[in-house]
Amino acid sequence: MTLRTMTMALSAAVCLGMAPEAGATPSTQIWIPSSDVQAFKVTHLNIDTYLRARNEGDGTRKAALSMVGPTIGVLPWRELQAEVGFDLMYQGVKVLDDNPLYFHAKLGTPEDSLGKWSPALAVGGYNLGTKDRYTNQNICYGVAARTLPVLGRISAGYYAGNGDVLVDERGERDKDGVLLSWDRTMKEVSDKLWLAADYQGGQSSLGAANFGFAWAFTEKTSVIFGYDIYNNRNVAGKNTFTIQVDINL
């Protein structure tokens, strides 16, 4: 089976219902999946940490969430691109940390590939965990993005996942919601500075509004510094600071 066939089969399986805290990361903004797809044969390494901004009501502080993993581009064409990858995620919860492996995949087209002013389009899946009813969030999503003069890039999409895992504080299913984001390279200041804000709807542990910036220290290395405001802190816990190191190998 070719890499192209493998990638398209994986994306289809995700969207047909292979369907918990944070996520195994495809190419993202700060929190949500972006329309970006990793370049062919380029391996991207992400090292992400989420630190609680405050103690819980009982004076304790939830453990930091940490994840590390590679993403690699697997299609050679400009008009149709794909990436696959995995993460090892640790959250300070035994049943989750005993099953830390999560997979993700994405298929996409860049802006203008379908005609003048056509948006970038991407579909994929993430948080494909290996422990039934604990880590198998199995999220399928679609997102469209367009870069506008001066304003920057605007993205919008939708996600749906496994309602047995994605629940609110009452244990009721809360498995889908909108995906929204804005991002822009601040060339007026420096080509190395990038600003972004994104939002994921829902009352499960995935729902959050996020703000941050990135600085490119080299051509292949950048770091995102962000803040995450959770929609439902009864489920997700207190808000977090995030530091995300991104390296292209």
| Pairing, β 193-200 against β 176-185 | antiparallel
Per DSSP, the three-state class of 16 is: helix
pLDDT, tens digit (0-9, with 9 covering 90-100), for 140-181:
999 999 999 999 999 999 999 999 999 999 999 999 999 999
Instruction: Give the residue among 201, 238, 15, 215 at the shortest CA–CA distance from 125.
Output: 15
Instruction: Look up residue 99 and give its amino acid.
Output: N
Per-position b or e across 215-246, b if 16+ CB within 10 A of its CB: ebeeeeebebebebebbbeebbbebbebebeb
Number of folded domains that form the chain:
1
DSSP bridge partners of 123:
107, 142
The residue segments making up the domain with residue 83 are 3-248
Report yes or no on whether pTM surpasses 0.75: yes
> Does the pLDDT at position 40 exceed 60?
yes
Q: What's 236's domain CATH number?
A: 2.40.160.40
